[in-house]
Structure 1
Amino acid sequence: MNPQALRLKEEGNALFAKRNYAGAESCYSQALVIDPAMTSLYTNRAMCRFNMKEYNGVIADCDVCLSLDGENIKANYFKSKALAELGDTETANTHAQRAYDICRKTDDRKSLDMTHTWVLNCRSEWWRVRERRRKREAQDLEREILELLAKDRDETLGSVPEDDELERKAIWEESEKKALQLRSIFERARKDDDREREVPPWLVDDISFNVMVDPVITSSGRSYDRAAIQAAIHANAVDPVTREPLTKEELRPNIVLRQACDWFLENNGWAYDW
């Protein structure tokens, strides 16, 4: 590690602590000229740029960092944050999940809760974006079908003599009946969207009372969300519900419950906000 680059990094850290993000960014940039392989300089500069709302710059720094170290938690995390600000919720969700998975793999307890919370946030927003798109597409489809019905009615009426009032009335009434049925179908679908929603108890973590994203099972057979139970073990080394001694090594992924949670949340994204 180059001493001059390290000194500039420390100066940047001091300026960052004082919220002088432009000054800190300048220090990190100078340090990178000297030592372009120091990954922490890219993530530190990305943090400055994020606070200055320079989101494309954040992504650029994170991409360089990830090209040097694909397992960098901060780079995945801040790339996700910047992508979310730019409206790319799907890719933001991908990098949020990647940051969380790396925390689990490396046992980075300090970042686990932060990345877990951000995964929930990203999944929730991604679901909302997809729901808005789905509803908009449903409205467009309803309008298009009604327009086609009206066009078909008008074309049929055009082939019927003006003085054939009974036939013209029958065509009109049949068209109105079909349009009413169609509106009724779409209205029922909208009411289903607005129905009262309940989160099944098996989806809720007994410690944080949030929905589970990464369920694990203890030797006693109880399941918790990984971030919540690891924090509890770190604090007291016991199962917070049964009060039995518990270590991190005793936790095992609950794959079946994980699949059930993924399925439920994929189809009921509102539960993220529960």
Structure 2
Amino acid sequence: MAQDLKTRGNALFKEGDYSGAEDYFSQAIQKNPHDPAFFTNRAVTRLKLEKWAGVEHDARAAITLHGAKNPASLKSSYYLAQALLGLQRPQEAYEVAIDAYRASLSAKNPQTENLSKTVLRAKQQIWAARETGRLREMNETLGSVESLIEADLRRGLEELQARLAKGELGEIGFGEDTRALREDTERNVANVREAFRIASNGEVQERVVPDYLIDGITFEIMHDPVVTPSGTSFDRLGIVKYVEQSGVDPLTRTSMSVHDLRPNYALKAACEEFLTNNGWAVDW
């Protein structure tokens, strides 16, 4: 019976009826709360609905049922990290994602690439939060203006939540409107920071590390980048250690050896130039 409910939920998920799919998966869980696949399916459905707290609950339940060291739990760890990012808890997301990423490398698991991207997203959010604190400490007026923008966002989110509770707004509409509010807030903050940058002659300016300078294994700025046959660049130390142990490309999982690596001189020059001009990035 529970499996039949799961099958119905899968069908609705494929059709894009995420609310209906969530309901079937919930019924399956009620029938059998010991099958991690039911929680995993509901977690990915709730991801589509951006129900972050629900995703966190389901992903943690699936991990517990699988066992944290079971490779089958890596997909749930990926969902959990995304939920924590959605809940604005990037440090927790980073810790979950980096542990799962390392486990996926060892297990040569298909989730490696997804987890790699999630680790970087988490690290970027952590850095962005630090930068916000630094900028607001540098300029109290900027801090006050940004606090007002954030207060408007909170009010808007509370209004949307109230409309959802009253049935005036569906789950999909709630998610779309929430995303739109957050995007508007990001644009407003970016515009304010740009205005303060110009007014301060560049003194008050957000610092950003370009993605292409970041190593996909250590998630630090590369110092001696090399490129794999698949065209992805990594810092030499991390990729050599990985390939010697596994004998495969960390992203494509195709067979390769250390001799297949080639220096990426252009990227090395870009990394060196960035670090020379941005000493703060050493501690990124």
TM range (shorter): 0.5 to 0.7
SS of aligned partner of 1:202:
coil
* 1:223-264 CA distance string (max 9 Å, x none): 89x9992345x4454568459xxxxxxxxxxxxxxxxxxxx9
* 1:164-187 CA distance string (max 9 Å, x none): xxxxxxxxxxxxxxxxxxxxxxx8
> 1:133-148, aligned counterparts within 5 Å?
133-140=133-140
Shift of 1:217: 1.1
Residue 217 (structure 1) aligned with residue 215 (structure 2): no
* 1:37 match: 34
Number of residue pairs aligned between Structure 1 and Structure 2: 197
Name the TM-score, length of structure 2 as normaliser. Answer: 0.56
Residue 76 (structure 1) aligned with residue 77 (structure 2): yes
Match of 2:227 among 206, 215, 221: 206
CA-atom RMSD in angstroms: 4.1
* 1:230 match: 250
Name the TM-score, length of structure 1 as normaliser. Answer: 0.58
* 1:18 match: 15
> What is the percentage of aligned positions where both structures have the same residue?
22
Shift of 1:204: 3.4
Shift of 1:88: 1.3
* 2:46 match: 49
> 1:233-248, aligned counterparts within 5 Å?
234-235=253-254, 237=256, 241=260
* 1:87-127 CA distance string (max 9 Å, x none): 1111111122122122123221x211111122122212221
Report if aligned partners of 1:76, 1:98 keep a CA contact under 8 Å in 2: no
SS of aligned partner of 1:36:
coil
Gaps of 5+ in 2: 144-199, 214-220, 263-278
Equivalent AA in structure 1 for residue 80 of structure 2? K
Shift of 1:66: 2.8
Shift of 1:6: 1.9
* 1:166 match: none
Residue 195 to residue 76, structure 1, CA distance change in 2 (3 Å): closer
> 1:114-263, aligned counterparts within 5 Å?
114-140=114-140, 190=203, 202-207=223-228, 208-209=231-232, 212=235, 215-217=238-240, 229-231=249-251, 234-235=253-254, 237=256, 241=260
* 2:218 match: none
Shift of 1:24: 1.3
